[in-house]
Amino acid sequence: MTGRWRTRLEAAVTARGRLCVGIDPHAGLLASWGLEDTADGLAAFADACVAAFADEVAVVKPQVAFFERFGSAGYAVLERTIASLRSARVLVVADAKRGDIGSTSDAYAAAWLDPSSPLASDAVTVSPYLGPGALEPFVRHASAHGAGLFVLARTSNPEGETVQTARTGSGETVAQHVVASAEAVNRDTGDAVAGLVVGATRGHGLDLRDFSGPILAPGLGAQGASADDLPALFDGVSKLLLPNSSRDVARHGPDVAALRDAARRVRDEVERALA
């Protein structure tokens, strides 16, 4: 990783648009592509995605769990996928949702953000629900290596609402407290190290007007959100908004050309909606 995270992200979205495409090779999707639910099937899926997305989108988000379930063989595929995408100048967000304390958190951060790691990515998703301070090792590694974080704030899954909209002692929601904590990181580091995960599937109820970092917005396509929903949901914070679509693009596989065309279509829909 060379250069500041925000600079690299701005250059990537200027060149290739704001769409973030997910690589989510769950068993049902492998089967729909005619692939076996094995590490070899996983590898064929990932290779097709790399070939389709490498020249078309700015950001790709592999869902780590779908690689992890195959153990060391799955991680070998993930390592190769990350390296191939980054060699093609695609920014990789590892969707690992890590979050712990102390030396454990430091080890997770090194695994996903240190350039010496075979899993080194441009950014990683993290959970703040052991307390924002537990993310300090991630902030430190991201700042040192020109990487980014996407902190879970208001996620697209309905069952997250109870926790995320609960009120703190000061009266703000937990999710709004996460937003404020992430912005404090950006002020302290002088870079947009901390981004947010804010689902695009419903009104999030957050005040994002003073937030300076990027926002990863899952939910396009299969989860019900459309590109036309984005301007109202993310008014004033769309410059570094990264709407995420996974299954809506992947259903066009395994043909690489069809996958590429689907990614272009969704990317262009996003850009038109946010223009």
Please give the Cα distance from 165 to 137 (Å, whole number).
26
Catalytic annotation on 239?
A: no
- Measured CA to CA, the distance from residue 17 to residue 141 in angstroms comes to 27
CB 75 within 8 A of CB 68: yes
pLDDT of residue 190: 86
Distance CA 232, CA 239 (A): 14
Q: Is the pTM of this model over 0.85?
A: yes
pLDDT digits 0-9 by tens, 26-59: 999 999 999 999 999 999 999 999 999 999 999 9
Of the residues 26, 80, 97, 252, only one is catalytic, namely: 97
The Cα-based distances of 207 to 190, 211, 236 in angstroms read: 21, 8, 11
Average pLDDT per 10 consecutive residues for the chain, totaling 275 residues: 84 97 97 98 98 96 98 98 97 97 96 98 96 91 97 90 91 95 93 94 89 95 84 94 96 98 97 95
Predicted local distance difference test score (pLDDT) of residue 1: 53
CB-side neighbour CA atoms (13 Å) of 20 = 28
Helices (H), 114-255: 136-145, 161-164, 174-189, 230-233, 247-250
- Class for domain 5-274, per CATH? alpha beta
Distance between start and end Cα atoms, the chain: 30
Cβ atoms within 10 Å of 135's Cβ, excluding its own: 26
Those residues whose C-beta lies under 8 Å from the C-beta of residue 117, and which sit 6 or more positions away, are 110, 111
- Quote the CA–CA distance of 23 and 30 in Å, as a whole number: 11
- Among 68, 62, 96, smallest CA distance to 81 is for 62
pLDDT at 84: 98
